[in-house]
Amino acid sequence: MPVITISRQFGAGGSSVARLVADRLGLDVVDQALIAEVAKRASVPPDDVQAEDERASSLLDRLAGAFSPLAAGLGVAWDPPYPDAAYDPRREVLQLTQDVVREVARTGNVVIVGRGAAHLLRDRPNVLNVFLHADVAFRQRIVMEREHIDRPAAERRVHQMDANRRAYNKQVYGCDWLDVRLYDVAIDTGRIGFAGAAAIVLAATEERAGTPA
Report whether pLDDT(87) > 50: no
* Beta strands across the sheet bearing 185-188: 28-30, 110-113, 3-8, 127-133, 185-188
Q: What is the mean pLDDT of residues 9-18?
A: 96
pLDDT of res. 52 = 58
pLDDT of residue 42: 65
Q: Which residues of 3-31 are buried (b: 16+ CB within 10 A; e: fewer)?
A: bbbbbbbbbbbbbbbbbbbbeebebebbb
Which CATH number is 3-55+88-209's, of 3.40.50.300, 2.40.320.10, 3.30.1360.70, 3.40.50.620?
Answer: 3.40.50.300
User: Average pLDDT for residues 130-157, to the nearest whole number?
Assistant: 96
C-alpha–C-alpha distance, residues 17 and 13, integer Å = 6
| Residue 205 vs residues 53, 114, 131, 184: alpha-carbon distances, Å | 27, 18, 14, 10
pLDDT classification of 157: cutoffs 50, 70, 90: very high
Which of 19-28, 151-160, 173-182 shows the lowest per-residue confidence on average (mean pLDDT)?
A: 173-182
Sorted by where each begins, the domain ranges of the chain are 3-55+88-209
Q: Quick: pLDDT tens for 175-189.
A: 888 898 899 999 999
Which of the pair, 14 or 177, is modelled with greater confidence? 14
Judge whether residue 86 has pLDDT over 60: no
Range picked from 28-32, 50-54, 128-132, 159-163 for highest mean pLDDT = 128-132
pLDDT(200) > 90: yes
User: Three-state DSSP class for 119?
Assistant: helix
Share of the chain above pLDDT 70, in %: 71
Question: Judging by beta carbons within 10 Å of its beta carbon (0-12, 13-18, 19+), is residue 106 exposed, middle or buried?
Answer: exposed
**27-61 confidence digits (pLDDT tens):** 988 876 666 666 676 666 666 666 555 555 543 34
Question: ∠ CA 15-16-22 to the nearest 5 degrees?
Answer: 85
Rounded-to-integer distance, Cα 4 and Cα 118, Å: 9
| Helix axis angle, 89-107 to 32-42, nearest 10° | 120
Residue 70 three-state SS? helix
